Amino acid sequence: MVHRFAIGIRAAAFATLFSGMVHAQSADGYPSRTVTMIVPFAPGAATDIEGRIYSNKLKESLGQSFVLDYKPGGSMTVGMNYAVRQKADGYTLLFVSASYSVLPLVFKNLAYDPIRNFEQVSLLSKRSAIIAVTPALPVSHVKDLVEYARANPGKLNFATAGNGSIQHLTGLWLQSATGARFTFVHYKAAGASFPDLMAGRVHATPMTFQSSLPMVKSGKLKAIGVASLRRNTLLPDLPTFHEQGVKDFEYSSWLGLLAPEKTPAAIVNKLHGELARIVRLPDVVERLGAETTLMATTPAEFRRHVAAESARWVRLIREFDLSFDDAKN
């Protein structure tokens, strides 16, 4: 009996070892064909531009095409709804932005869990932002914006990239911190609001430096404050919201990469290793580094980052009783 048990143990151990060897080697031939990278944003956004850099570099290093597939809308849920249904084989990946950390908090009727049903491959970068306003608005500083909103209740239109987007929550945070009240105007993508912002049909929105700088320097938009705790060298004379009395106000846009749940760990780790190398390349740093902090965290570090951000937004979601029923499954 003992002998049979010992044989069984050895057989099980061999099976486990063999399985582990196959799993460990499962990324050796990856990728062997084109990889699709879902972009849940409109073409031309800052996150899209950054995503193109990574896709091109991955093609160079791994020898297969990494093709961007645009599926904007629904605060990224359109792209996520598609990606979550794909095979967990490493041939479908998904870019996500800072809104990812709030999706399970505000969208209650999704048929999947945005956090648990994806593998977090890597947090790739963070970028500081400004609050930009239309030139027609008679404000130059944060205090002016708050006073204008208070004097004109409901008349200051705050543009966002959709219900529950990080721009929406940033506007709510500004309301909570200052007592001002805005009318939120939700667009399919952040860039879709820019023509209306310049024309004065909407009045304010958070923007990355990359998106806003040409319009600010040409006078088509005004920057009233940096939404971070430190000034940015691209606009060194522009004070932060923190300096202007809105304490600890920090809106950081970021870009991360996901894969469908149960994508083999060997593939996830291979992708992370490549991305960690790519973000250190001199030409990538030169292209993105002026406004972007490049990082390529480990999958575990990315998960912790998302958890910390989610906790930060819970208070606002509860304060404004924020929930939505229009996310499509």
Indicate whether 121 belongs to any domain: yes
122 and 270 in a single domain? The answer is: yes
What 3-state class would DSSP assign to 243? Answer: coil
Same domain, 137 and 110: no
Structure tokens at 61: 């290093």
| 46-99: pLDDT as tens digits | 788 899 999 999 999 999 999 999 998 877 889 999 999 999 999 999 999 988
Q: Do 66 and 84 share a domain, yes or no?
A: yes
- Rounded CA separation 3/11 (Å): 12
175 in the same domain as 117:
no
- pLDDT (tens digit per residue) in 241-282: 999 999 888 877 899 999 999 999 999 999 999 999 999 999
**SS3 string of 168-207?**
HHHHHHHHHHHCCCCEEEECCCHHHHHHHHHHCCCCEEEE
Give the amino acid at 164: G
Q: Name the DSSP letter for residue 3.
A: H
Q: Where are the beta strands (DSSP E) in the chain?
A: 35-39, 66-70, 92-97, 118-133, 157-160, 183-186, 204-208, 222-226, 252-260, 292-294
In terms of DSSP bridges, do strands 252-260 and 204-208 run parallel, antiparallel, or are they unpaired?
A: unpaired
Contact 261, 118 (CB under 8 A): yes
Where in the sequence is the domain holding 134, given as residue range(s)? 128-226
On whether both 79 and 119 belong to a single domain, the answer is yes
For the record, the structure tokens of 50 come out as: 């950054």
Residue 103 lies inside a defined structural domain of this protein = yes
Burial of 220 (0-12, 13-18, 19+ CB in 10 A): middle
Please give the model's pTM, rounded to 2 decimal places. 0.77
281 and 304 fall within a common domain: yes
